[in-house]
Amino acid sequence: MEQFDLLSLAEIDAQLIEKLATRACQLDGHWQSRTMPQTLQGRRVGMIEELPGWRNPTALSIGVAAMGGTCVPVTAKLEGGETVEDIAGYLDNWFDLMAVRTPRLTALKSFADALEAPAMNLRTNDNHPCEVLGDLAYVMSVRGSWQGLRVAVVGPAGNIASSWFEAAQVLDLDVLQVTPKGFEATEQARGPCEVTDDMRGIEDADLIVTDCWPSDLDAAGVEAFQKCRVNASNLDRCRPDVLFVPCPPVTRGQEVSEDAMRHPACAVPRAKAFLLHAQNAYAEAVIGP
């Protein structure tokens, strides 16, 4: 059993990320055959949800239960009136692992520092490591490795792009952000990763992911983002073995077209099964036997 937080993929070394993804692939087989190992038997996981969304929490709840553990929603708020130090002290009495969805990564890091138990980032507005770790595990299940993987992230600077940039800091990945000018990540945030507003950039990718449009676009912004919509014609020009995995919730008519979601390259339902397995792999690594 190893004690480490899962707050950012950039803070975990490549060998450990590969270990988690490999285990996620194994757990996928167990899940499908309904032979999940009971390696979380007697373990208690707490879950704080300050952000909307249902996939990560649902996957964690059913995933922990399937491996013999207990997952309990906690109504505490890191952005509330109590200090994170006080909250951490109380929760350490009851839980072996805390999983959190909260707006600010800085608040989550402060909470994790105060917590004796390990902390898992289910989502912040700054990054989304479990989502990307799940996608990486899916890619591993299909390709066998990530060596030389070319990833196109179609969408604005946001938590999905950020976590792919974080992954590229420690893994052998080539990440390209495709987004209208003015919506790209800063050079500091994306590091060596490149950016373009030309949709032809996706044509040589092995994996294409999307993120939703900003909610406050004006007419000019909408027009700009329409030029970065993934459609079936785009996908037809891509590599024959490309994997298209738009990040939910998907808005047809915005970041993707209806025909893109029906394209043979679209693997999103199957790929997102690995979100559960990636989260379980982490939980097993830090609180399992």
Exposed/middle/buried for residue 42 (C-beta within 10 Å: 0-12, 13-18, 19+): exposed
Are residue 241 and residue 144 in the same domain, yes or no?
yes
How far apart are the C-alpha atoms of 171 and 167, rounded to whole Å? 6
Are residue 241 and residue 277 in the same domain, yes or no?
no
Are residue 279 and residue 215 in the same domain, yes or no?
no
- Summarised one tens digit per residue, pLDDT across range 14-59 is 999 999 999 999 999 999 999 999 999 999 999 999 999 999 999 9
Over range 3-8, report the average pLDDT: 96
Are residue 76 and residue 49 in the same domain, yes or no?
yes
Are residue 91 and residue 139 in the same domain, yes or no?
no
Over range 111-132, report the average pLDDT: 98
- What residue type is 105 in one-letter code? L
Query: Residue 49 domain-assigned?
Result: yes
Query: Residue 4 domain-assigned?
Result: no
Are residue 148 and residue 254 in the same domain, yes or no?
yes
Are residue 102 and residue 144 in the same domain, yes or no?
no
Are residue 192 and residue 144 in the same domain, yes or no?
yes
What is the pLDDT of the chain when averaged over all its residues?
A: 96
pLDDT band at 2 (very low <50, low <70, confident <90, very high): confident
Q: Read off φ and ψ for residue 158, nearest 5 degrees.
A: -170, -170
Reply yes or no on whether the pLDDT at 283 is more than 90.
yes
pTM of the model: 0.96
Query: Residue 3 domain-assigned?
Result: no
Are residue 139 and residue 19 in the same domain, yes or no?
no
Residue 62: the pLDDT is: 98
How far apart are the C-alpha atoms of 22 and 141, rounded to whole Å? 8
Residue 1: the pLDDT is: 62
Residue 88: the pLDDT is: 97
**What is the CB neighbour count within 10 angstroms for residue 224?**
18
Residue among 160, 151, 201 at smallest CA distance from 178: 201
Report the CATH number at residue 113: 3.40.50.1370
Query: Residue 2 domain-assigned?
Result: no
Residue among 130, 122, 127 at smallest CA distance from 101: 122
Are residue 14 and residue 115 in the same domain, yes or no?
yes
Are residue 115 and residue 160 in the same domain, yes or no?
no
Q: List the structure tokens of 82.
A: 């109590």
Per the structure, the complete domain to which residue 262 belongs is given by: 131-271
Q: Residue holding tokens 């989304």?
A: 128
Residue 238: the pLDDT is: 97
The answer to whether residues 130 and 123 touch, using CB atoms and an 8 Å cutoff, is: yes
- What residue type is 255 in one-letter code? E
Reply yes or no on whether the pLDDT at 147 is more than 80.
yes
Total of domains in the chain: 2
pLDDT band at 10 (very low <50, low <70, confident <90, very high): very high
How far apart are the C-alpha atoms of 7 and 179, rounded to whole Å? 26
Query: Residue 13 domain-assigned?
Result: yes
Query: Residue 161 domain-assigned?
Result: yes
- Summarised one tens digit per residue, pLDDT across range 172-223 is 999 999 999 999 999 999 999 999 999 999 999 999 999 999 999 999 999 9
- Cα-Cα-Cα-Cα dihedral sign, residues 204, 208, 211, 217: positive
- Summarised one tens digit per residue, pLDDT across range 103-112 is 999 999 999 9
Strand order in 194-196's β-sheet?
Answer: 194-196, 173-178, 149-154, 207-210, 243-244
Q: Taking the mean position of all CA atoms in its chain, how far away is CA 237?
A: 27
- Summarised one tens digit per residue, pLDDT across range 237-273 is 999 999 999 999 999 999 999 999 999 999 999 999 9
Are residue 143 and residue 98 in the same domain, yes or no?
no
Query: Residue 1 domain-assigned?
Result: no
Query: Residue 113 domain-assigned?
Result: yes
Q: Which residue has the higher pLDDT, 178 or 3?
A: 178
